[in-house]
Amino acid sequence: MEVTAKIAPYTLNEEEEKKKILREYRALLRVLKAKLKPGDKVLLRRAFEMAAEAHKTMRRKSGEPYILHPLAVAKICVEEIGLGIRSTICALLHDTVEDTDVSLEDVRLEFGNEIAKIVDGLTKISTVMDSNSSQQAENFKKILLTLTDDPRVILIKLADRLHNMRTLDSMKPEKQLKVSSETIYVYAPLAHRMGLYNIKTEMEDLAMKYLEPDSFRFIAKKLQDTKRERTRYINDFIRPLKAKLEKADLNFEIYGRPKSIHSIWNKIKKKGVAFEEVYDLFAIRIIVDSSPAKEKEDCWKVYSVITDAYNPSPERLRDWLSNPKSNGYEALHTTVMGPQGKWVEVQIRTKRMNEIAEKGLAAHWKYKEGASDESRFDKWFGQIREALANEEGSSFDFLQDFKSSFLTEEIFVYTPKGDIKMLPVGATALDFAFNVHTAVGSRCIGAKVNHKLVPISYKLRSGDQIEIITSAKQKPNSEWLNIVVTSKAKTKIKDSLKEEKRKIADEGKATLQRKLEGMGAAMSTQNIEELCAFYKVNSSLDLMYEIASKKIDLKELKNFTVHGDRLVPPKPVVIKKEEPDYDPNKNLARKDTELIIFGESSDKIVYSLANCCKPIPGDDVFGFISTGEGLKIHRTNCPNAARLMANYGHRVVKTKWAKNKEISFLTGLKIVGLDDVGVIHKITNLISGEMKFNISAMTIEANDGIFEGNLKIYVHDKEELDILVERLHALPGIESVDRYDAE
């Protein structure tokens, strides 16, 4: 997979363009060849002509004719997802209803109801996902409604997003950030959940290319530099296995493939190791050609051959043959000790399993034999429908809950009778109780996991067997919301708390009514809104509840006046704030000339640096207009960046640093190394003596010959910091130097 290619400037004339469009159309027909039935070619031709005619005056940002985009999306649908003729027609027409004069009725008349319905779903999603305001959270439910209606909609949408990511180079930087963030936040997890591992991986890599360009280039170069020795190692590893597998009379393919840049980067960050220490830079894949009846037997046969040749790590065996993931993934993974003392991951699948692993849901349909095969996806769609049925609550919360409930990895656990339940990683005993039944969850006081008593907050592990203990006196409380991760449990707890809140609020309502009647004011919507604003509460329910629970004392009502039956609040008293004394350290986030903010009257914009990621000059940054706090500057790889850009893309402001050596910024460095005599002196001498940095704070802890130092220092920009990190790395005995965000 090539993800670093640049798009060349566009230079084709009209005649060449026509030839290119026809070439792409013929290429699409070639990949569809095996699926074409009599009459399909005519339908495809009509769809292609309708799309070409509708888009004929339109161009992409790269300058090329727009029709090349639907053609590319259709080809991805067929080649990489395994969809058929009807989906190809929908992919060709996916932008026509939204962007051109073609109406949904035109599509219906030409191609019938089924295709019109899918195109309508795609149009709805486009207006949701790709509108300039990027209000994804508000409209995310619409997408999921369409998804549960016809999953092909989301599969075509994923192909559309993948092609947009592949051609993102021609977009403006702020658009690249926004689209990449949406991709990493929603689309890649969705692709994973639909079983499209290759697409998920490519989306993550491409998003990283724009969100963390330095890290991306660093790992891509390292992979390139180590390619030859890696290939040699893979060949050495495979050679003895090949001979043994042939001897066992198995029909198989065996090859090594590199891990994705994004997953390598995650390992580096999670484990705090250097690139050279990430042992699984690649995986060995063995694909067996097996009859349906012998699949499991053959996979375990391959496993025994591998573990005969190399020693396995027992805790690294993953058996998804007995319990496939709910996105249909089946395989056997093991990690073995290869030559030169290196751990190597080996994945074992049959041809059918491999197709499902690469084509996901589309391949699942192809292989289904009766309803039971489809039930895992049906169950998942059913759970989504249930989550969608709950209309209350903010859409943003819904998106968060959806991600944690439906887009994460899963574990499987057992009921006391031995039935299997699938739950997301991180699920607790309380999640399990709500999964069984709302009444069981609401009365849960504890659980027995593998016959041992555990609290309701116990985090479940794959293979646990759980029995729930209930009490008629138990009822949900607000603390429970911090214990559960599944959407169903959260929704049911919130419903129960609301019901409880309403009962208490009724008492507050009676109290308020008596007070207002005593003053001669009406219990009207207008007066209630006036009181909500005065007491700074969000709703009338909150107002009544806080009156009942004595958080709001109504004695301030005597300061109100009554006109007719209307309440008029007292005038607010303005307190003049004294100017604080000047603090020299506060220049860390003052506005001078160190940032260029693009947009209207940028010279007048006041901003502050976000505390969550502490940017310094030279970092890739973006501005975010936060409510109440003005413009905040975040690093593009800030932990909150993807969420902010994906949900509030319209508030993102293009920003870059200007050179200014006058202002210092506080940042942190974590240094780990061997606790040798004089090592601390060498570090401080380099920082303060040679490089003249100001150290704000320093803590050193030594343990069993290893020291860990945390330094807070003032630097002018990232360039300076990078030089310092490089020089610290070069000191003898220093193992790692990592930046962290100093408070």
The amino acid present at 621, given as its one-letter code, is V
Q: What is the DSSP secondary-structure string of 621-664?
A: EEEEEETTTEEEEEETT-TTHHHHHHH-GGGEE-EEE---SS--
Task: Collect all residues with Cβ–Cβ distance below 8 Å to 720 and sequence separation of at least 6.
Answer: none
Whether 99 is catalytic is yes
Extended beta strands in 145-301, E state? 252-258, 282-288
- Annotated catalytic residue, options 98, 149, 467, 708: 98
Q: Is 442 helix (H, G, I), strand (E, B) or coil?
A: helix
CA distances to 312, 336, 648 from 315, in Å: 9, 11, 42
Instruction: Kindly compute the dihedral angle of the four CA atoms of residues 151, 157, 163, 169, in this order, to the nearest 10 degrees.
Output: -140
Task: Collect all residues with Cβ–Cβ distance below 8 Å to 276 and sequence separation of at least 6.
Answer: none
Place of tokens 């860390």: 588
CA distance 263 to 282: 11
CA distance 673 to 709: 9
Per DSSP bridges, beta strands 452-454 and 466-470 are unpaired
> Contact at 8 Å (CB) between 186 and 141?
no
The DSSP call for residue 59 is B
CA distance 204 to 144: 22
Task: Collect all residues with Cβ–Cβ distance below 8 Å to 389 and sequence separation of at least 6.
Answer: none
Q: What is the DSSP secondary-structure string of 15-28?
A: HHHHHHHHHHHHHH
> Contact at 8 Å (CB) between 195 and 361?
yes
The DSSP call for residue 471 is -
Q: Which residues are catalytic?
A: 98-99
